[in-house]
Amino acid sequence: MKARVSGGAALMQGNEAVAAGALAAGLGFFANYPITPANEISRVLSRELPLRGGVFIQMEDEIASIAAVIGASLGGLKAATATSGPGFSLMQENIGYASATEIPCVIVDVQRGGPSTGMPTRPSQGDVMQARWGAHGDHPIIVLYPSSVSETYELTIRAFNLSERYRTPVILLMDEVVAHMRERVMLPLPEVEVVPRSKPKVPPEMYFPYEDGDNDVPPLASFGEGYRYNITGLFHDRLGFPTLRPDEINPWLKRLFGKIETNLEDIVWCEQELIEDAEVVLVAYGATARSARHAMKLARDRGEAVGMIKPLTLWPFPHIESIAERARRIIVVEMNRGQILGEVERLVHGKAEVLGVNRMDGEMVTPLEILHALEI
């Protein structure tokens, strides 16, 4: 089985679309450790990368995989890894490292039922909060979440672009349904933008890898190109050396979070459908957004004013609070115990009733279950 990776319409699986999107975005290095349900990604990339002069390596575990990805990114390659829950847990320390050291990289987590080994072959959306807060300490992160194969291709490219533009790890969170589903994808997408890494234009002695000037995102020199600098996971000054001085730490923290928080318009992508007159709004992402959309249509056929919101950027979570001014009720549909439900409640702040439709038994939430919730 071969994923078409260029030209025309292709029938491909979500995981194959990750591989194809990564290659289209300029992937140069991929390291991983085998795990279901993410395996098709490495199967395609182990074949395709060497053909293009890129590097594929299977590391000894997921900690080594993300570590090698960070090392390769510092060497100047666009780098990524892919895993599922247990491996994603192992990666967290180094994801925090990449966030704090501002090294671009993409981490794909094809979720499985959890906790623990869980249900390796069944869908889940249980890593939503781990993707946001898995690494210790406050840190910025971007998490994207596709609900179709075509979106998977597009969001994979977007993940690389955002990681380069904002010098940050980006997590592509997927569920097993979309990862293993086959759908038509048009390749190449019209006008795919590929963001190259921004390199310093100043001479080495004037280069500050963590500059806190006007530019929120300082350029990142590649190792071996004459800019000898230091990278550390310790809090660091603008040269990249350890510091404990609040007058150096505070400007850095401000820039670290600011580069994401002041660019939400560019980063956050959220689709809304039929919400203008909606009394009830469904909030769903990934595979559950497909069920939600179906339920919305059935409800509209019955004459009910139902709309929906689908965040494709899950973190930072879109500012959806304005819908509470019109809608009476918001229903958050998830294959977990309500990880986004809490976020919606926080935003809506009592202005509308917020309910959840949740499953965590490895079965999809069906449109009927959502319709049932509409009747309450």
Rank residues 23 and 314 by Cβ distance to another protein and give the closer one. Answer: 23
Cα–Cα distance, 123 to 110 (Å, whole number): 9
**Closest CB 362 distance from another protein, rounded Å:** 31
Rank residues 224 and 246 by Cβ distance to another protein and give the closer one. Answer: 224
Cα–Cα distance, 221 to 228 (Å, whole number): 9
**Closest CB 73 distance from another protein, rounded Å:** 8
What is the footprint of another protein within residues 244-283 (CB under 8 A)?
A: none
Query: Should residue 321 be labelled a site residue for another protein when binding is judged by CB under 8 A?
Result: no
**Closest CB 80 distance from another protein, rounded Å:** 11
Cα–Cα distance, 376 to 372 (Å, whole number): 7
Main-chain dihedrals φ then ψ at residue 248, nearest 5 degrees: -100, -35
Cα–Cα distance, 169 to 100 (Å, whole number): 10
**Total Cβ atoms within 10 A of residue 299:** 22
Is residue 36 classed exposed, middle or buried when 0-12, 13-18 and 19+ CB atoms within 10 A define those classes? middle
Query: Should residue 74 be labelled a site residue for another protein when binding is judged by CB under 8 A?
Result: yes
Binding residue for another protein, selected from 26, 71, 86, 219, defined by CB under 8 A:
71
Cα–Cα distance, 181 to 119 (Å, whole number): 18
Query: Should residue 224 be labelled a site residue for another protein when binding is judged by CB under 8 A?
Result: yes
Rank residues 46 and 366 by Cβ distance to another protein and give the closer one. Answer: 46
Query: Should residue 208 be labelled a site residue for another protein when binding is judged by CB under 8 A?
Result: no
Beta-sheet pairing, 27-32 with 55-58: parallel
Q: Which of the 8 DSSP states describes residue 205?
A: G
Residue type, 338: G
Residue with tokens 């996971």, as numbered in its chain? 233
Cα–Cα distance, 269 to 2 (Å, whole number): 31
253 CA to centre of own chain: 22
Rank residues 70 and 341 by Cβ distance to another protein and give the closer one. Answer: 70
Query: Should residue 205 be labelled a site residue for another protein when binding is judged by CB under 8 A?
Result: no
Main-chain dihedrals φ then ψ at residue 158, nearest 5 degrees: -60, -35
Binding residue for another protein, selected from 133, 208, 223, 269, defined by CB under 8 A:
223
Stretch that binds another protein, among 12-20, 56-64, 206-214, 315-323 (CB under 8 A): 56-64
Query: Should residue 70 be labelled a site residue for another protein when binding is judged by CB under 8 A?
Result: yes
Binding residue for another protein, selected from 67, 181, 195, 371, defined by CB under 8 A:
67
What is the footprint of another protein within residues 81-110 (CB under 8 A)?
A: 93-94, 97
**Closest CB 22 distance from another protein, rounded Å:** 15
Rank residues 87 and 126 by Cβ distance to another protein and give the closer one. Answer: 87
Judge contact between 91 and 67, C-beta under 8 A. Answer: no
Contacts with another protein, residue ranges (CB under 8 A): 5-6, 28-29, 31, 48, 50-53, 55, 57, 59-61, 63-65, 67-77, 79, 93-94, 97, 222-226, 228-234, 241-242
